[in-house]
Every structure is written in C-alpha cells, then in structure tokens.
Amino acid sequence: ELILAFESSCDETSVAVIEDGAKILSNIIASQINSQKRFGGVVPEVASRHHVEQVTLCAEEAMTEAGVTYADLSAVAVTYGPGLVGALLIGVAAAKTVAFAHHLPLIPVNHMAGHIYAARFVKPLVYPLLALLVSGGHTEIVYLKAAGEFEIIGDTRDDAAGEAFDKVGRVLNLTYPAGKKIDDLSKQGQDTFNFPRAMLHEPNYDFSFSGLKSAFINTVHNAEQRGETLSKVDLAASFQASVIDVIVQKTMRAAKAYPVQQLVVAGGVAANSGLRAAFQQAVAAETPDMDVIFPPLRLCSDNGAMIGAAAHVLWAKGAHADGRLNADPGLSFDYASDFQA
Ligand code: ATP
Ligand code: MG
Ligand code: FE
C-alpha cells in the first residue's frame, strides 16, 4: 500500500510517500533551523507560520518525487501529537483536507511511535522489542510486546536528553540545536570533569539530567569568576560521557530484564556518534545475541517517512480516524491504542 504521511510537530515540516511501511518513495523535509537559530530555540508562532507556508509545497513535492497520483494512495497519515499545538494543527488540517478531498482513510500517528518505526527502514522489526527514545522532548525506554503496543518502562524525571544537550550548548555559546556540535567537540576532548551520573544505581529505568546540567553550568561559571578558561572540548566530552554512561547502562539493564531480540535506539539524540559506539560495544559484550538498530542518521530527527512507517502498522490493523481528529499536544502512548478498527 502507499501512504502519504505528514509531520509538523515541532520545527520540521515534512511529507513523505511510503510503500508498505518500509520503502521511501519520497521524504521532503523543510527545516526551520535557520529562522529558529537566532532565537536560540523553537518559537511556537514562528514554527506555525513556517508550517503554513511549507506544508502544501512539501506535499506537492513529495507526490512529484514519488511519481504517484492521489488515486494511487491507500491512506493519508499524520502526526497528531505530542508536540506544539499550533504546529500539529497545521499538519492535521492538511492531512484531513487531502483525505477528505480524495476519499482516503486518515491514520493518526503518535510522533514518538514514528521515531521508533524509523528503525523499520533498516530491517524488519521483531517483537517483543525494546526501544530507547532519546530526543528533544523525550527520554523513554519503551517495551513493545507486539507491533503498535507500547509500554513506557522508564522516563526522565526532568529534562530530556536532547534538551540537556541544547541547554549545555548555550553555555558553550553553540547555536541551537547543539547536539551535533557537542558530539563533534567531544571527539577532540576527554572526560576530565567527571560530572555526576544521576540515578545510575537506582533500581528503575528512569533518568534525570537537570543535576548534570546544573553541575555543568556551575563548573563553567565558577571558572569564569576565577578568570579561568576551561577546555571547551573537555567540557563537551565530559558532559557527553555522563549522558552516555547513564543511558547505555540503564537501557542495557532493561534489555537483559525483558525477553527481547532487538533494541531500537531512536530520536534526534540517536544520531550521537558516541552513543552509537557505546551501545554497539555494550551489546557486543553483554547481549551478543541481541540486535541493536539505529535508524539512518537522516531519519533520527523529525521526518515524514517515520510517520508513514508507523502508520503502516495501524493500517494493517485497520485503525483509522475521521474528520474529527484533533491535535493532542500532550499525547502519550496510551492514547495511540485508542484508534482501533
Ligand atoms: P520530540 O521528538 O521529543 O518531540 P524533537 O522532535 O524536537 O522532540 P528530535 O527532532 O527527535 O526532537 O531531536 C532533536 C534533538 O536531537 C535536539 O535536542 C538535538 O540537539 C539533538 N541531536 C541531534 N543530533 C545530535 C547528536 N549528534 N548528538 C546529540 N544530540 C543530537
Ligand atoms: Mg526538530
Ligand atoms: Fe521528534
């Protein structure tokens, strides 16, 4: 089947055409990074305006690049949450309009399910599986007993991993988003500061990154007051090492406690080179029979292709929404299963 998928939850407008949930015929991504950069983060009104301007252009381009017509489509899918309400509304309105005009079923997709299903472009997923979601707004360990059944077994108590990268980046005068820049700086530095590894030894799968962020900021400010300049590359490497240590160790503990053959590491922070290497090493040493799957770099951050892949699972179950579908900015996984046939 062919699914036209819309994504507009944050600052990327993206539309894709996906065949059978596994093949990308097109995946057009209009990023707003250049207009959000100067504000040091995503300004909701700016994001909405961009989505309005871009969404029909992206849809047309996605159809043209895929070389398909609306008559060829099986369904229209859209991210309806979680995310910025004004941003989500534009994708939802666009998808509803196309579905209505062309008499196509509408498939509502949870953005975080989309991040997980980006891994489907690497290989077929085998259940039960474990997924680590590390992105700008989430840090969760999710257990999937079967396709499309999500159970959050671990979560962050405060900041998300990507959010911590971006906030620390600001202290280092790096432009938003800072994740990739800290990743690059880390390669030239060493973990000399030994920042705290929060909640590492607690018997749960939860995370906390605000203490690390404070420790980092205090270290930099104290040095500034003494008139000292600290090594930027060592600061970056130390921060990143702390994040990776906690994430990898706690996720590996879950991977051993649950009966899984695959571990999916997804979300924007899954693009981190140090995190990828650390997981590969940990899996080789501790669970060599388990497969660790990272989506291709380009599909780690927000895109329509991953929404099309997640929609395929709902399509196979016959799940769909109608014209009353609304954006749900605080959507959690529990609601994703509300849409059953
Ligand atoms: P969510 O998916 O939780 O709603 P989001 O969509 O804003 O949030 P993503 O687009 O998945 O988040 O990811 C963006 C985040 O990924 C940013 O915080 C960015 O700094 C981070 N990131 C991107 N590349 C890297 C990298 N190489 N290392 C670390 N972090 C990275
Ligand atoms: Mg983004
Ligand atoms: Fe995202």
- 66-76 residue pLDDT tens: 999 999 999 99
Among 180, 187, 298, which residue has the most ligand 1 atoms within 8 Å of its CB, making it the best to mutate? 180
Query: Closest residue (by CA) to atom 11 of ligand 1?
Result: 268
For strands 12-19 and 23-31, give the pairing: antiparallel
Residue recorded with tokens 């996720």: 251
Ligand nearest to the CA of 267: 1
End-to-end alpha-carbon separation of the chain, Å? 18
Residue 334: its pLDDT value, please? 64
Pocket of ligand 1 (CB under 6 A): 9-10, 83, 111, 115, 135-138, 162, 165-166, 177-180, 183, 267-269, 271-272, 301-302
Residue 33 neighbours by CB distance under 10 Å: 13
What share of the chain in percent tops pLDDT 70?
96
Task: Decide if 136 contacts 270 (C-beta within 8 A).
Answer: no
* pTM of the predicted protein model: 0.96
Q: What angle do CA 337, 93, 45 make, to 5 degrees?
A: 105
Q: Phi/psi at 267 (nearest 5 deg)?
A: 100, 165
Query: Angle between the 210-225 and 161-171 helix axes, to the nearest 10 degrees?
Result: 10
Whether the predicted pLDDT of 335 surpasses 50: no
**Residues 207-211, mean pLDDT to the nearest whole number:** 98
CA dist list (Å): 30 to 2, 35, 90, 140, 215:
22, 12, 14, 27, 36
Q: Are 329 and 92 in contact (CB under 8 A)?
A: no
Which residue minimizes the CA distance to atom 7 of ligand 1?
Answer: 136
Contact 106, 297 (CB under 8 A): no
d(CA 260, CA 283): 13
Q: In terms of residues, how long is the chain?
A: 341
**How far is residue 51's CA from residue 91's CA, in Å, rounded to a whole number?**
8
210 is an annotated ligand-binding site residue: no
Q: Ligand 2 centre and the CA of 287: distance in Å?
A: 32
Q: 121: which 2 tokens? A: 């472009």
Tens digits of per-residue pLDDT, 264-290?
A: 999 999 999 999 999 999 999 999 999
C-alpha 114 – ligand 3 centre gap (Å): 8
Q: Is the pLDDT of residue 166 over 50?
A: yes
For ligand 1, atom 13: residue with the closest CA: 268
Shortest CA distance to 148 belongs to which of 261, 327, 312, 295?
312
Pair type for strands 12-19 and 2-7? antiparallel
Q: Whose CA is nearest to atom 5 of ligand 1?
A: 136
pLDDT at 36 over 60: yes
Average pLDDT over residues 120-133: 98
Identify the residue with better confidence: 335 or 107: 107
Q: Averaged over 83-105, what is the pLDDT?
A: 98
pLDDT of residue 208: 98
Rounded Cα distance, 188 and 171, in Å: 18
- ipTM higher than threshold 0.90: yes
Q: Which atom of ligand 1 is nearest to the CA of 42?
A: 7
Q: pLDDT at position 309, please?
A: 98
Does the pLDDT at position 118 exceed 50? yes
DSSP SS3 for 152: strand
Give the per-residue pLDDT at 40: 75
Instruction: Report the pLDDT value the prediction gives residue 279, as an integer from 0 to 100.
Output: 98
E strand spans, the chain: 2-7, 12-19, 23-31, 75-81, 106-110, 129-134, 139-144, 150-155, 262-266, 291-293
Residue 112 dihedral angles phi and psi, to the nearest 5°: -70, -30
Closest residue by Cα to atom 20, ligand 1, is 179
Distance in angstroms (rounded) separating the CA atoms of residues 215 and 94: 44
